[in-house]
Amino acid sequence: MAAPLVVPGSALGKNGSVAPSERIVMAGVGIGNRGTSDVNWAMGESDVQFVAICDVRQDRRDAIKALIDKKYGTNDCAQYHDYREFFATRTDIDAVVIATSERWHAAMGVAAMRAGKDVYSEKPACMTIADGRVLADTARRSGRVYQSGTQRRSEANFIFCNEVAQSGRLGKIHTVYAHMYGGSLTHDWLPAEPEPPKEELDWDMWLGPIPWRPYNKRYTRGGWHGQYDMHTGSVGEWGSHTVSQCQMGINSDDTSAIEYSSAPKQDGDGLITTFPNGIKCIFALKGWRGSCGVKYEGTEGWVSCADGYAAPDLSNRALLADFKKLVNDYTARTQRPIGHMRDFLNCVRSRRVTVSSAETAHRTMTTCHAANISIWLGRPLKWDPVKEEFINDAEANRLRSRAAREPYQI
């Protein structure tokens, strides 16, 4: 009457699969459109197992649970709405994808790392300079692996631009350009609407650390963009990508710009920053055929790239003959993959610092936040990247942080 036990090869790590005991156990927090891409990206790796979703919105919890269960052919994905309960009780989870709106990134990342989780967090890493410092210090003190979702640092076209700039093929680099998309921030509130039941949407927790305001459905459907309390604007949202890329290209990941020229508009177009090595980074709305573009100019030429480019633009297109060589040289020298999530997962295993670490993300966002502060105050500023304070400007220094609402402080 006994039947033989058939064990799938995947459970034993055969046929190219990874045994369950060797998989990285992951979960998602605040997973919307961008986060769904991140979850799919991670689940596409054979050494990952997603087991849970935490979100204050019931519709998002249900949608991501369905996505994860379909992937694995089970009904096992657990749901949580309170991140505090989630982090405290799920000690089996190795790493989390955080894809909340901007106001939550730093606080959620810090909470996850303090709970012993490695973190892949969507950008921008923080809403303020002060929160970025706490985030970076928490990663260092806890020994957790942190990757900011600035994925272009792990894409071949952008890596090629960096390698061309750093190899001397363009002569001495003197200017880099960081793409901005435009738009401004407002302090106005949307009209109040009746709150949904708490089990459908926990509005207080959705707001999190920012000042309370009445519910409006549009906030939860992307309407937080352009709101000062919820958004870092053009400079912070796209600068988190493009300034990060520029800092990587000019070997300035460990610092921030020290001078800010200010700009007449909040979108940052035309603002000029200067790094300690003397290289200028100019924020610009135009100059590319795609989004999140960067450009490096040297004494002997230039290179430029943006999303959607089949290949980078160059003043000397003959340099494209070295494309594969330069990208391969980078991967061999750094031992990093072409693939941002894969870099994170490799570092989870090796405990190596990621290509877009918490410290690197903080330094990038310091440049972005300082630029925003210069725009808001309407005057040039000077920054000390060692003391992490503006030089002789008390008003600017007060804007390095914002008050956080209880009980959601870092």
Identify the structural domains of the chain with CATH numbers, from first to last. Answer: 16-151 (3.40.50.720), 152-184+233-398 (3.30.360.10)
What local confidence, expressed as pLDDT, does residue 15 receive? 56
Residue type, 266: Q
Nearest CA-CA partner of 43 in 59, 60, 25, 30: 25
What local confidence, expressed as pLDDT, does residue 140 receive? 98
- Decide if 384 contacts 260 (C-beta within 8 A): no
Scan for tokens 């390698």, then name that residue.
163
Beta-ladder partners of 97: 28, 120
* Mean pLDDT per 10-residue segment, the chain (410 residues): 45 65 96 97 98 98 98 98 97 98 98 98 98 98 98 98 98 98 93 98 98 98 97 96 98 98 89 98 97 98 98 98 98 98 98 98 98 96 98 98 96
The model's pTM: 0.95
Distance CA 273, CA 261 (A): 6
What local confidence, expressed as pLDDT, does residue 262 receive? 84
What local confidence, expressed as pLDDT, does residue 210 receive? 98
* Strand, coil or helix: 221: helix
